Amino acid sequence: MPCRSKHERVVSVPGFERNAWQRWYLWLLLAMLVLALLGTVVWLAGRHEVEQAQAALDRDTTDAVADLRASLQRNIQSLRALRLPAQNAPGDAAWPPEAAALLREHREMVRLERRDAGLMPLAVLETPYRMRIFDKVTRGSEQNDVALACTTARKLVAPAYSPSHYVPMPEGGGIELMELCVPVEGGYLVATYGLRDMLTELLGPTLARGQEVAFAEPDGTRLAIIGVRRRAGTRIFTSQQLVDLPGVTLMLRVDGWRAAPDIFPNLLTALVTAISIALVSVLVLLARDTRRRLKAEFELAETLAFRKAMEDSVITGLRARDLRGRLTYVNPAFCEMVGFSAEELVAVHGETAGSESGHRDAPGMPEAPYWPTELAHEYQQRQAHRLAGGMPPREGFESVFMRKDGSRFPVLIFEAPLLNAQRVQTGWMSAFIDVSEQRRIEELSRASQERLQASARLATVGEMASLLSHELAQPLAAIASYASGSLNLLEGGADRGDADRGAVIDTNVEVAMAVRRIAEQADRAGQVIRSVHDFVRRRDRTREAVAPRALIDAVLPLVQLQARKLSVRIDMALEDTLPAVLCDRTLVEQVLLNLARNAMQAMDMPELVERVLQLRVLLAGGTDSRDGYSNGIARASEVRRWVEFSVADIGSGISKDVEERLFTPFFTTRADGMGLGLSLCRTVVEQHGGALVYAPHRPRGTVFRFTLPAA
Ligand code: ADP
């Protein structure tokens, strides 16, 4: 079952791009909000400034009204304080000197008039600063205003004012006036105020600078104006206040103007600018930080994707387990190996573990779906051992797993603790290699090796056929001669008949002895045939503890066959207390036979008078020199004992060019040789963990040595 589709393995980060867009939208939104906030602050600041200006103007106007009332009140007091002469005093004598001084000091008063109780004018005093405003005739039209004021004054029993009225001037233009009627003894004192003069004298110095001050009627008509004209490009501020006087209500209107407030009003400019700069800087910094984060995120995502691609494409199965033995991760190769999907393995297995752990003795010991049922118990114990902290072998170990279809296969497992960034173990990480193919190839090569060795053995036997016939000829000839001898004896006995009873008994004894000899010889022939049969027979391929002498004894009859033919003397020496060796005896016997035969053939030279084959068996690391052995063997001998077999001859020795190809299969110098002997010998010895070496023999010949592990 495929674990994952191929597309999923492609390195890509689609979610990442979407997030990046979302993030940009958010940034845009934030920038817009900040701009809106800044705009609002600026607008509020402008409004604030306008309100401030308006409030200041209102304040000034209120103050001005208060000042005006106070001044008018003071004037009333001054008028009342005048010590007026008797009513009928003529001309200038009708006025005390203070009256003229009063008019001089108070320019807002343009005229003083004394009237009797019937409001008839008695005396008039004009301000020195103006031309005569009224004459006797024109004055008549003012009677109404004066009458109104004095009527009110009489009603209130207090000074009262008349509404303002316009008096045209003889030289053109006119003047807005207002009458004040103060009741005095036996009549009235009427003071005429010029409205414009009131503004100039009473308010002018403080209020008229930079603004326009006017008395206006409720409908906005200006009665009197002082102040500067409005400048172009300025904004106007208006404040109106009622001046409530007895008898009349005036409206004081102040028009102030100042340059329209800047977009950034002075007061807040610095603050807002500073805040804006700070805000924008923070935004820029944030943006930079985000960009860096994005970059890091992207790199991280790429690294992750790369790791993932690596894990997905690797052909080694990978598996992670937590400390309770639950699967937390499997890679596609592992899924392919066992035939289960990642979901089946991780989720199901994980859940099972969780639910089972509740009622199990060993918590978190679930059975993995890929464990063969018959081995599950053993695996559970192994897992428990691992979870208890037992370290797995570094070189890995072999195990058998089950595919989803139930077939078993061998795996090589390498396990290591899974450490997190803080170097704390969080579980176990395992790598798996499916070794079924290797095992199959090994099995094949082992079978062909076996077949090769069997054929080599048969070939040896074939070579020995002539030796056999020679060897069997002797006992067969002996049997034949004993048989004919016996026959002669029997025939001789029959001729003599029953006459000589003693002679018959002798004959019987001799025949019996001859038959015994025949049996002995047949036994000897049988032994020869048995020894060959034993050698050729296939035996079980098992390692067993075998005494070295048993190995030698097994091949000795065969060696002797050839030795007798080639007139070789066998010199054998075995140490007394040798341990048994752990070996496959069939193979080792063949090694011994091969080496012995090679040695004897090397001595098959006519000029050689004495031919000796030396067979030695000793404990490696004993008295014998171990020159020529690899260090590996020397080191191995320290931990375990080795038994060394040596086969030495005094033959031709091995020349340089033969040496180079000595162990090459099918290399031989003999016409009837197969060239398989030595290469097979070395394979066999190395399969047993030993080593096969050779060296020149003193004074001549060669010595072959090999080692086998002691049992
Ligand atoms: P074969 O015996 O069939 O020739 P081997 O592999 O046993 O095959 O030997 C290969 C060759 O090695 C022999 O032909 C011989 O030349 C050489 N050789 C083997 N043993 C000895 C020895 N003890 N002395 C000299 N030469 C040897």
| Co-location of 405 and 499 in the same domain | no
Residue 649, ligand 1, Cβ within 6 A: yes
Phi, psi of 646 (to 5 degrees): -135, 140
Residue 135 lies in a domain: yes
Residue 363 lies in a domain: yes
Residue 673, ligand 1, Cβ within 6 A: yes
What pLDDT is stored for residue 322 in this prediction?
87
| Co-location of 569 and 703 in the same domain | yes
| Per-residue burial over 225-234, b = 16 or more CB atoms within 10 Å of its CB, e = otherwise | bbbeeeeeee
DSSP assigned state of 7: G
Residue 46, ligand 1, Cβ within 6 A: no
Residue 286 lies in a domain: no
CA of 151 to the centre of ligand 1 (A): 166
What pLDDT is stored for residue 258 in this prediction?
72
Burial of 505 by CB count in 10 Å (0-12 exposed, 13-18 middle, 19+ buried)? Answer: exposed
Extract the runs of DSSP E, i.e. beta strands, from 303-407: 317-322, 327-330, 397-402
CA of 595 to the centre of ligand 1 (A): 8
Last residue of some domain: 403, 434, 465? 434
The ligand 1 atom at the shortest distance from the C-alpha of residue 669 is 14
Nearest residue by C-alpha to atom 19 in ligand 1: 598
Nearest residue by C-alpha to atom 8 in ligand 1: 675
Residue 674, ligand 1, Cβ within 6 A: yes
What lies within 8 Å, CB to CB, of 277 at 6+ separation is: none
Residue 694, ligand 1, Cβ within 6 A: no
**Token couple for 659:** 């040496």
Residue 676 contacts residue 665 (beta carbons within 8 Å): yes
What pLDDT is stored for residue 263 in this prediction?
54
The ligand 1 atom at the shortest distance from the C-alpha of residue 673 is 3
| Co-location of 248 and 328 in the same domain | no
Residue 201 contacts residue 106 (beta carbons within 8 Å): yes
What pLDDT is stored for residue 94 in this prediction?
78
Residue 702, ligand 1, Cβ within 6 A: yes
What pLDDT is stored for residue 621 in this prediction?
66
Residue keyed to tokens 């797995």:
392
Q: Measure the CA–CA gap between 362 and 374, rounded to whole angstroms.
A: 20
Residue 366, ligand 1, Cβ within 6 A: no
| Co-location of 546 and 533 in the same domain | no
| Co-location of 414 and 515 in the same domain | no
Q: Measure the CA–CA gap between 221 and 214, rounded to whole angstroms.
A: 10
Pocket test for ligand 1, best of 672, 678, 693, 694 (most atoms within 8 A of CB): 678
What pLDDT is stored for residue 167 in this prediction?
84
| Co-location of 254 and 123 in the same domain | yes
| Co-location of 623 and 695 in the same domain | yes
CA dihedral 49, 54, 59, 61 (to 10 degrees): 150
Phi, psi of 408 (to 5 degrees): -100, 155
Q: Measure the CA–CA gap between 42 and 262, rounded to whole angstroms.
A: 10
CA of 586 to the centre of ligand 1 (A): 21
For residue 218, what is the domain's CATH number?
3.30.450
The ligand 1 atom at the shortest distance from the C-alpha of residue 599 is 23
Q: Measure the CA–CA gap between 260 and 49, rounded to whole angstroms.
A: 10
Residue 459, ligand 1, Cβ within 6 A: no
**Domain encompassing residue 710:** 542-711
CA of 399 to the centre of ligand 1 (A): 43
| DSSP codes, 631-692 | HHHHHHHHHS-EEEEEEE--SS---HHHHHHTTSTT--SSTT--S-HHHHHHHHHHHTT--E
| DSSP codes, 435-465 | -HHHHHHHHHHHHHHHHHHHHHHHHHHHHHH
Last residue of some domain: 378, 403, 434? 434
Taking alpha carbons only, the member of 662, 670, 676 closest to residue 459 is 676
| Co-location of 526 and 634 in the same domain | no
Residue 508 lies in a domain: yes
| Co-location of 104 and 179 in the same domain | yes
For 539-556, the three-class secondary structure string (H helix, E strand, C coil) is CCCCCEEECHHHHHHHHH
Residue 276 lies in a domain: no
**Token couple for 497:** 């008949």
**Token couple for 385:** 């051992």
Residue 185 contacts residue 50 (beta carbons within 8 Å): no
For residue 665, what is the domain's CATH number?
3.30.565.10
Query: Strand 211-216's sheet: what is its strand order?
Result: 222-227, 211-216, 248-259, 234-245
Bond preceding residue 699 cis, omega within 30 of 0: yes
Residue 658, ligand 1, Cβ within 6 A: yes
**Token couple for 273:** 């600018």
| Co-location of 249 and 337 in the same domain | no
**Token couple for 447:** 């079978």
| Co-location of 321 and 352 in the same domain | yes
Question: Could you give the angle at which helices 436-496 and 585-602 cross, rounded to 10 degrees?
Answer: 70
Q: Measure the CA–CA gap between 420 and 423, rounded to whole angstroms.
A: 5
What pLDDT is stored for residue 261 in this prediction?
56
CA of 668 to the centre of ligand 1 (A): 6
What lies within 8 Å, CB to CB, of 479 at 6+ separation is: 518, 521, 522, 525
Residues of the chain predicted below pLDDT 70: 1-20, 87-92, 133-142, 208, 230-233, 259-269, 347-366, 466, 493-501, 536-541, 621-640
What pLDDT is stored for residue 393 in this prediction?
83
Phi, psi of 23 (to 5 degrees): -60, -40
Q: Measure the CA–CA gap between 414 and 396, rounded to whole angstroms.
A: 4
Residue 242 lies in a domain: yes
| Co-location of 206 and 220 in the same domain | yes
What pLDDT is stored for residue 2 in this prediction?
45
Pocket test for ligand 1, best of 668, 672, 676, 680 (most atoms within 8 A of CB): 668
User: Beta 612-619 vs 569-574: how paired, if at all?
Assistant: parallel
**Token couple for 594:** 């091969």
Last residue of some domain: 389, 410, 434? 434
Residue 700, ligand 1, Cβ within 6 A: no
Residue 692, ligand 1, Cβ within 6 A: no
Q: Measure the CA–CA gap between 139 and 603, rounded to whole angstroms.
A: 180
Q: Measure the CA–CA gap between 326 and 582, rounded to whole angstroms.
A: 43
Burial of 643 by CB count in 10 Å (0-12 exposed, 13-18 middle, 19+ buried)? Answer: buried
3-state secondary structure of 313: helix
Residue 281 lies in a domain: no
User: What is the count of structural domains for the chain?
Assistant: 4
Residue 507 lies in a domain: yes
The ligand 1 atom at the shortest distance from the C-alpha of residue 594 is 7
